[in-house]
Structure 1
Amino acid sequence: MNDMKEEKVQIGEFEELVLLVTAILHEDAYGVRVMDEIGAQTGRKVNISGVHTALDRLEKKGYLSSYMGGATAERGGRSKRYFKVTNLGVQVLEINRRVRNTLYDQIPKVLLETR
C-alpha cells in the first residue's frame, strides 16, 4: 500500500461524509442509499444531485470505484451504480481520523469539562 502524505489529502467535509457512509454501507452503496444513510446518521437533509456529484468527484480522485449492478423490473429495467471504497479511500479516512483526533486531543480538558 502506498502511503499518502497528510498534506496531499484534498477532501471537503461533505465528500468525507459521503466517503464514510459509502464505507459503512460497504457492498450496498449506491446514490439513494448513501443519501438516505447520511440523513439517518446525521439528521442532515441532502439532495441526490449533491450526493452524485460527491460520489463522482471521489471516484475521479481514486477514493472510490464503481460498477453497474443488474437491471431490475422494479427500476424499469435500469441498473444501479454501486460504489466501493478503494485502498486509497481507506487511507484518506485513516489520515482524516488521525488529524482530527490529534487536534481534538489538544483541546484543553477544562474547556471540554465545562460543557
Structure 2
Amino acid sequence: MGKHQLGEFEEVVMLTVAILTDEAYGFAIIEEMEKRLNRSVSIGALQTVLKRLEKKNYLSSEMGEATAVRGGKRKRYYHLTSAGKDILQTTKEQRLGLWNAVPSFSIKS
C-alpha cells in the first residue's frame, strides 16, 4: 500500500471535488456533500481536510477572480491532482475488493 491512505471524510471531499470539476470551492463543496449525503458539514472541518489533502498533494487550488457578488472576495477553487486521481482509483479498487469478498447475506426484519 502507498504512503498515504484516505480517511472516509477525505475520500468524500475528493469525490465531491471531482463531481464539481471547475466549480469546486468551499461553499459549493459543502452544499454538494450535504445534498448527496444528507449530513451536515462544517466549514472548519472542510477547510482542515482541504489543507491536509493539498499537503498530501492530492488536491491543488487556485484563487478565482474577485466578484461584486461576494463583495470583492475571491473564491479558492480546488482540483484533483494526478496523485489524487490515483489514490481515489486505488481506494475504489480496495473497497470493491472488500465488497466482492463479502458472502451473500440477507437482512432480517
- TM category, shorter: over 0.9
User: How many residues get paired?
Assistant: 107
Q: Which runs of 4+ in 1 moved over 4 A?
A: none
Q: Distance in 2 between matches of 1:88 and 1:7?
A: 11
Q: Distance in 1 between matches of 2:44 and 2:4?
A: 24
Give percent identity, aligned residues only: 44
Task: Report how far residue 29 of structure 1 moved.
Answer: 0.1
Q: Distance in 1 between matches of 2:99 and 2:2?
A: 18
Deviations 1:9-40 (A, max 9, x none): 32211011101100110100001100110001
RMSD: 0.9
Q: Distance in 2 between matches of 1:37 and 1:51?
A: 12
Aligned twin of 2:51: 56
Of 10, 29, 32, 2:24 maps to: 29
Q: Distance in 1 between matches of 2:91 and 2:74?
A: 33
Q: Distance in 2 between matches of 1:91 and 1:52?
A: 22
Deviations 1:28-62 (A, max 9, x none): 00011001100011001111111111111101100
Aligned twin of 1:74: 69
Please tell me whether the aligned partners of residues 6 and 91 of structure 2 are also in contact (alpha carbons under 8 angstroms): no
Q: Which runs of 5+ in 1 are unaligned?
A: 1-5
SS at match of 2:6: coil
Q: Which runs of 5+ in 2 are unaligned?
A: none
TM-score after normalising by structure 1: 0.89
